[in-house]
Chains A and B, each alone.
Chain A
Amino acid sequence: MGHCILTVDDSSTMRQMITFTLKGANFEVVEAGDGVEALEVAKGKKLSLIITDVNMPRMDGITLVQRLRALPEFKFTPILVLTTESDASMKQKGKEAGATGWIVKPFSPEKLLDVVNKVI
């Protein structure tokens, strides 16, 4: 069965680019525009990976990681943070929240797929 990936970003341009990259590698992709929507979309889905931005309205990416980790079905699902934030303290927050990895934008499609294949 194919892998389904949830990508969370408030920028629709960015979502399009991530989805384009992942679909090109035959992944199924579902999208959400912020943390709140991501929790709704994720509910009841079998996800192989979640990729989230940090700065988003309503619920940011770090809080989303914490909320997902508190749910039994997403306790061990890989979660990558894909963001313009490269600050060490922000990365540390992501790590403590339970993120699997941190990718700084702009992303290279090859590098993104490389990391995705590593963590799935």
Chain B
Amino acid sequence: MSPLAVPLVHGRASKYLDRTFNRQAMKILPGEFYATTEDEVIVTVLGSCVAACLLDPIAMVGGMNHFMLPMKHGDRDPDVFFAARYGAAAMEYLINNLLHLGAQRDRLVAKAFGGGRVMRGISTDVGGQNADFVREFLRNEDIPIWGEDMGGPYPRKVYFFPHTGQVLVKRMETTHNDTVYHRELTYIQEVTGKPMSGDVELFT
């Protein structure tokens, strides 16, 4: 079971053999992340969510997360600030897993994707906020951004090759992606509606 009220989990077992790229593919969903040393491809589909692809090109360790910030209840500073707690944890889960696999923090580079304006019926630009957060986090942490494709009105399918850092992005037709929309709507309700905190244990 995840220790969190809101799942931030290492990619569940959804590996398959991708015949186009002739290698193992790991598909990740909202709230998941995956880090690997293998020459695989990590795949995800993003609407307003964002995915950071991080890589240590020397150790050839790479990984991807897929998340969005909880909706803010106002523009007051503390609200704006604390909405980012979940995002910062999503980034740290991925970074720590990369470090466990042999990556060095000061060698990490990033590519960022998603953050599209695709949530119908929500006036806030949820995708834009997610994109801003990722850029600011990476800048704050001195992780160089090698490339990005964020914003705009479309969902994206992203293929990340962790051994080389190469990414293929397919911009999708908005109207054909109800699955992405519904999956993200459920996810944003989860991250917004539940308390965002992990377990606390005091040792006696």
Contact = CB atoms under 8 A, between A and B. Distances in A.
A85 B203 contact: no
B202 A13 contact: no
Interface string A32-67: 000000000000000000000001010000000000
B106 A105 contact: no
Contacts of B93: 84
Contacts of B3: 86, 104
Given A107-B198, A108-B197, A13 B84 contact: yes
> How large, as a class, is the contact surface on chain A?
20 to 34
A103 B3 CA distance: 11
B74 interface: no
Contacts of B99: 55
Contact of A115 (B4, B91, B100, B202): B202
A86 B156 CA distance: 32
A16 B88 CA distance: 11
Contacts of B121: none
Q: Tell me what chain B mostly uses at the interface: helix, strand, loop, or mixed.
A: helix
Interface residues of B, number: 33
A86 B105 contact: no
Contacts of B141: 11-13
A19 to B, nearest CB: 11
Interface in B78-119: 78, 81-82, 84-86, 88-89, 91-93, 95-96, 99-100, 104-106
A13 B199 contact: no
A85 to B, nearest CB: 7
Given A14-B92, A109-B82, A86 B140 contact: no
A24 B82 CA distance: 13
Interface of B: 3-4, 8, 78, 81-82, 84-86, 88-89, 91-93, 95-96, 99-100, 104-106, 137, 140-141, 195-203
22 contacts: A10-B105, A11-B92, A11-B95, A12-B141, A13-B88, A13-B141, A17-B81, A17-B88, A55-B95, A57-B106, A86-B199, A94-B203, A101-B200, A101-B202, A103-B200, A104-B3, A104-B4, A106-B89, A108-B195, A111-B200, A115-B202, A119-B202
